Structure 1
Amino acid sequence: MGILNLTPDSFSDGGKFNSEKSALEHAEKLLKDGAEIIDIGPQSTRPNAEFLSSKEEIERIGSMISRIKKEFPQALISLDTFYAETVKFGFNEGIDIINDISGGQYDHKMFETAAETKLPYILMHVNPSYETMHDKVKFEDISLQVNRYFSKKTTELLEKGVKDIILDPGFGFGKTVEDQMKMIGETGYLGFGKFPLLIGISRKSFIYKPLGKSPLDINEETQKLHLTVLEQGARILRVHDVAETAEILRQFLRKK
């Protein structure tokens, strides 16, 4: 899954792809480099980012989804939003996957809307409100806590009629460096093996801050961690650096 941020304020690529021309060019590059899914993000969720309404998200997306679908019909498009209204708009424009960082907690209509669209839904573990999204919580047992959350939320989703669920443990959202490294080592225990697991660690601070590096200087370290989670059953990697990750995937598949 290649990341396409349509934002002026994302933490590592803000403002690079927020014109239609630059976004289309970046989508083409992501696909050429080996991405199968393009994750479109109209709103940054980094700490202290500008908060947008659903209406503002929709205005920012404009015709981008339909343009990408027309230019690159082979591409799957996921829409990174926590608003049901933005999902409805994206569904009409042709998205294939809902990527909701809030686990349905920031918009009570999200699960119902996901069920109506019948699209695959990415369920992420995160703190219960937008305001507390990045508040660091020290869990007694991070993997147990994440699995309790997944158990409760997947039950709710299945009861609502959402059949196709992907789990995201929520790296970079309200977790200590130690807990995130623990999750890397315990990836195989997350989600009970019932649902595909998405891992999004690309350019995350729990990797670069302890090393005293910038988000753009940790590609080698990130790819080693990607290999670790792939070996434990991760099925989707959400990344900025697609070509390098595709090479790691090839190495992994050759070993199997």
Structure 2
Amino acid sequence: MNTQFTINCNGKLVDLSTPKVMGILNVTPNSFYDGGKHKNINTIIHQVDKMLSDGATFIDIGAYSSKPSAEYVTEEDEIKRLNFVLKEIINTFPNIILSVDTFRANVAKIAVESGVAIVNDISAGMLDENMLPTVADLKVPFIMMHMRGTPQTMQNLTDYNDVVKEMIFYFSERVAKARSFGISDIIIDPGFGFAKTLEQNYEVLNKLELFSILELPLLAGISRKSMIYKVLHKTSQEALNGTTVLNTIAIQKQAKILRVHDVKEAVECIKLVEKLK
């Protein structure tokens, strides 16, 4: 099943029939892999330039670490961190397609008004009741992820009878809710590592193609996560090869966007899998 998907980003139609890469830019001091690495604006601009040159279609900016048990960040701090970088990035790369990684409607609104094209919400609108109406008003694509609880509580919420079946039900419900507000471009993200055990993460990856029943583009965010490095008894710093292996499997199972720290390797991965067609 190779459904044709396009999403409208700032008036530009992005065709996802060939998978695309979303580069991760964390402007947080505490992200699990690159926390604190991009503190000054020159480092940030250099990193964005590298990801775009390596072939990223989207850059996803996050100012609130959602790793397990991440500390709480106030809305003011999240906005401050984003404002610091958004203006410079958009001035330097006027054609860039930016996504904001936030579960707060107000942060999403400020980011989109500053030029961001996509809202990426780990809670699918569950942590802020204003998120869905706000995204509908902003008329931007919405990435909804599967998670239970909050980043602080999610690791205790891994009790499922049938993880994939319950996730598909969750997405059906959230998509219907988003559509009721008038959100048209929706992307779904299974949320690897969010309220799932190691075994559950692999079960979800193994059955990833089942999500195509939702007839929506699928984003896979596996990059350097503990589901890789725990199996290999390595660190996130040593998990690039493992990331490439699982990204390859994700694309073969219908993923349309790879959200990654290492853009060049993900782009190569897509090129080689496409060649098999």
> Quick one: distance in 2 between partners of 1:76 and 1:11?
24
> Quick one: distance in 1 between partners of 2:253 and 2:24?
23
Query: 1:198 is matched with which residue: 211, 216, 219?
Result: 219
Listed as ranges, the matches of 1:70-109 within 5 Å are 70-109=91-130
Q: In structure 2, give the amino acid aligned to 1:185.
A: N
On the 8 A contact 2:27/2:81 being kept in 1, the answer is: yes
> Quick one: distance in 2 between partners of 1:157 and 1:114?
9
- In angstroms, what is the RMSD of aligned CA positions? 1.3
Aligned to 2:154: 133
> Quick one: distance in 2 between partners of 1:17 and 1:203?
18
Cα drift, residue 136 of structure 1? 4.4
Cα drift, residue 73 of structure 1? 2.4
Query: 1:57 is matched with which residue: 78, 84, 87?
Result: 78
Per-residue CA deviations over 1:75-134 (Å, capped at 9, x if unaligned) read: 210000010010111011000100000111111111110111010000000003454223
Aligned to 1:7: 28
Query: 2:190 is matched with which residue: 169, 172, 182?
Result: 169
Aligned to 1:41: 62
Q: In structure 1, give the amino acid aligned to 2:272.
A: Q
Cα drift, residue 231 of structure 1? 1.0
Gaps of 5+ in 2: 1-21
Query: 2:42 is matched with which residue: 21, 37, 48?
Result: 21
**How much identity, in percent, do the aligned residues show?**
39
> Quick one: distance in 2 between partners of 1:180 and 1:31?
29
For the pair 1:151 / 2:169, whether they are aligned, the reply is: no
Query: 1:238 is matched with which residue: 232, 253, 259?
Result: 259
What's the TM-score once normalised by structure 1's chain length? 0.96
On the 8 A contact 1:139/1:145 being kept in 2, the answer is: yes
> Quick one: distance in 2 between partners of 1:33 and 1:203?
18
> Quick one: distance in 1 between partners of 2:101 and 2:155?
17
Q: In structure 2, give the amino acid aligned to 1:153.
A: R
Aligned to 2:210: 189
Instruction: Kindly tell me the number of residue pairs found equivalent between the two proteins.
Output: 256
- Report the 3-state secondary structure (helix = DSSP H, G, I; strand = E; otherwise coil) of the residue aligned with 1:234: coil
Q: In structure 2, give the amino acid aligned to 1:183.
A: V
Aligned to 1:249: 270
Aligned to 2:4: none
- Report the 3-state secondary structure (helix = DSSP H, G, I; strand = E; otherwise coil) of the residue aligned with 1:238: strand
Select the structure with the greater relative contact order (CA < 8 A; seq sep ≥ 6).
2
- Report the 3-state secondary structure (helix = DSSP H, G, I; strand = E; otherwise coil) of the residue aligned with 2:59: strand
> Quick one: distance in 1 between partners of 2:89 and 2:167?
34
> Quick one: distance in 2 between partners of 1:18 and 1:171?
27
- Report the 3-state secondary structure (helix = DSSP H, G, I; strand = E; otherwise coil) of the residue aligned with 2:103: coil
> Quick one: distance in 2 between partners of 1:110 and 1:130?
17
> Quick one: distance in 2 between partners of 1:143 and 1:185?
10
What's the TM-score once normalised by structure 2's chain length? 0.89
